[in-house]
């Protein structure tokens, strides 16, 4: 079966494709470019669920108008830090300004947490996926990776806040862990639930 994944991020798309292949889900992933969706959707929600739903509804509307009867899934994800009352949260991608370099985003978090004690540096990565079927049925799934914020960053690259996030059960940052060591990420945990939802819908 086919599934439209609401992103223009090729890295994210490839990550999802690899996971679906690993799970033997028999799902062909389509990007927004594949369906010629070029609208700039304003994500003005205050929760991951709201932002994911805003994107999903906009793409579903486009599909309905163009007779594209393919399920749509969208995501919204970010880092939530307990000591910062859940920040950066839904603003994770633009916390230090639009298109801020990774080191600037990281340093803003570390600067805000410079006086926070070790035991209070708990945080979590969150991913919310919204699936809307051609018949209008909606599924919303959430995945989380729990951990804590370091005092100094590890290697840059990969996930924006990966260099300062140590998942529970490890003594290395997320960016230093291999995929095998880390296991399922917050996005993959949510994807796993979406795969099950699709199985229910399609009986395959």
Active site residue ranges: 76
Distance of alpha carbon 199 from alpha carbon 85, whole angstroms: 37
Both tokens of 171, joined, read 């003594």
Strands 72-81 and 122-132: antiparallel
Give residues with Cβ within 8 angstroms of 54, minimum separation 6.
Answer: 41, 42, 43, 44, 45
Distance of alpha carbon 110 from alpha carbon 175, whole angstroms: 17
Three-class SS of residue 91? Answer: helix
What strands, in cross-sheet order, belong to the sheet with 122-132? 28-30, 2-5, 72-81, 122-132, 138-149, 165-167
Distance of alpha carbon 132 from alpha carbon 173, whole angstroms: 34
């Amino acid at each position: 079966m086919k599934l439209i994944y609401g992103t223009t991020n090729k890295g994210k798309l490839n990550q999802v494709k690899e996971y679906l292949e690993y799970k033997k889900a028999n799902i062909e992933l389509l990007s927004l470019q594949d369906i010629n969706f070029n609208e700039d959707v304003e994500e003005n929600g205050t929760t991951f669920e709201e932002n994911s739903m805003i994107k999903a509804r906009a793409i579903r509307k486009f599909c309905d108008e163009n007779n594209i009867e393919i399920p749509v899934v969208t995501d919204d994800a970010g880092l939530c830090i307990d000591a910062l009352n859940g920040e950066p949260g839904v603003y994770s991608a633009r916390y230090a300004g639009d298109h801020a370099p990774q080191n600037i985003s990281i340093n803003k978090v570390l600067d805000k947490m410079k006086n926070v004690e070790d035991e209070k540096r708990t945080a979590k990565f969150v991913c919310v996926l919204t699936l809307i079927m051609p018949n209008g049925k909606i599924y919303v799934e959430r995945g989380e990776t729990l951990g804590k914020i370091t005092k100094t960053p590890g290697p840059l690259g990969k996930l924006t806040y990966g260099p300062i996030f140590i998942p529970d059960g490890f003594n290395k940052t997320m960016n230093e862990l291999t995929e095998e060591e880390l296991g399922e990420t917050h996005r993959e945990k949510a994807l796993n639930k979406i795969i099950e939802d699709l199985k229910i819908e399609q009986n395959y």
